[in-house]
């Protein structure tokens, strides 16, 4: 972490709601991460709860879209999330000690990878205060065509926007009034190279396009951290989880 100016990153994070760190992972670190990820998929995916992984097309096993809570199934990913350069950066950005709540894998398969709707992660987190952030590591080249992340600059300073239901698997909520002139004017796209890192505040509005390419995937790893001062509304979260589980069961049955 010594090669990064944490004070400058913190200033940008506070003002913009996000930071972009090219080359956060070295080629060696990235190779190790990808190797452990492939081993996890081949050896441990089948043992995961059905609520923790999703396919873009349930009839196509090559279309794995998302995995959640990798750290609960594998000690290597647990160590990645704690006492690491990721946790050090999270605490620097939040200005307090922080705990990693989940390590996630994301992919947009070619042709069928759907857009990620505009949303704020804090809507799902149900925290008071919203002292949380999400990290997103590119595992391969990410372009506009494969679905790069887009942020609305400074949107974390303007509170929670109204959200409503979507049909996008893995992203059940979307900002219902997104697309104002200000949203479009302040939106910034972030194509990325392997090992690049994006970090955004839990109230920062973001989205991503679908994967329109014929043969390129869009793979990334996500880590979510909650600051020590953030308190969860556990009853509300449990109601939300139960509702998602019911909807997933209905989707599987169909």
Domain extent listing, the chain: 6-253
pLDDT of residue 247: 65
C-alpha dist (Å) from residue 98 to 78, 93, 160, 169: 14, 10, 22, 28
122 band by pLDDT with thresholds 50, 70 and 90: very high
pTM as predicted: 0.91
Q: Mean of the pLDDT values across residues 193-216?
A: 97
84 band by pLDDT with thresholds 50, 70 and 90: very high
Cα–Cα dist 176/118, whole Å: 9
169 band by pLDDT with thresholds 50, 70 and 90: low
Q: Mean of the pLDDT values across residues 180-186?
A: 97
148 close to 190: Cβ distance less than 8 angstroms: yes
Cα–Cα dist 105/226, whole Å: 18
Q: Mean of the pLDDT values across residues 128-145?
A: 97
Q: Mean of the pLDDT values across residues 156-173?
A: 86
138 pLDDT higher than 80: yes
pLDDT of residue 105: 98
Closest residue by Cα to residue 246 from 175, 174, 165, 176 = 165
Cα–Cα dist 49/102, whole Å: 14
pLDDT of residue 149: 98
Token output for 79: 């160590």
pLDDT of residue 250: 61
134 band by pLDDT with thresholds 50, 70 and 90: very high
More confidently predicted of 238 and 17? 17
225 close to 133: Cβ distance less than 8 angstroms: yes
Phi-psi group of 126: left, alpha or beta (phi > 0 → left; psi -120 to 50 → alpha; rest → beta)? left
pLDDT of residue 54: 92
29 pLDDT higher than 90: yes
Query: Is domain 6-253 classified as CATH 2.60.120.620?
Result: yes
pLDDT of residue 48: 96
Quote the percentage of the chain above a pLDDT of 90: 82
pLDDT of residue 251: 54
């Amino acid at each position: 972490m010594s090669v990064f100016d944490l004070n400058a990153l913190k200033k940008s994070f506070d003002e913009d709601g996000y930071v972009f760190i090219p080359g956060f992972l070295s080629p060696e670190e990235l190779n190790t991460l990808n190797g452990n990820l492939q081993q996890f998929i081949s050896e441990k995916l089948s043992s995961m709860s059905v609520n923790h992984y999703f396919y873009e097309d349930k009839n196509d096993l090559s279309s794995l879209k998302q995995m959640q809570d990798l750290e609960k199934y594998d000690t290597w990913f647990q160590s990645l999330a704690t006492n690491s350069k990721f946790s050090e950066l999270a605490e620097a950005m939040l200005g307090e000690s922080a705990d990693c709540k989940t390590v996630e894998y994301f992919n947009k398969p070619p042709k069928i990878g759907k857009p990620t709707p505009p949303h704020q992660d804090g809507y799902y987190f149900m925290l008071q205060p919203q002292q949380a952030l999400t990290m997103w590591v590119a595992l391969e080249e990410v372009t506009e065509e494969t679905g790069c992340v887009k942020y609305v600059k400074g949107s974390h300073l303007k509170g929670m926007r109204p959200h409503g239901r979507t049909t996008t698997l893995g992203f059940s909520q979307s900002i219902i009034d997104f697309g104002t002139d200000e949203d479009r004017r302040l939106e910034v796209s972030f194509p990325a190279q392997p090992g690049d890192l994006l970090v955004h505040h839990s109230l920062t509005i973001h989205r991503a396009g679908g994967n329109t390419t014929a043969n390129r995937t869009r793979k990334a790893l996500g880590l979510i951290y909650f600051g020590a001062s953030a308190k969860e509304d556990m009853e509300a979260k449990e109601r939300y989880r139960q509702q998602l589980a019911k909807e997933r069961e209905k989707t599987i049955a169909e």
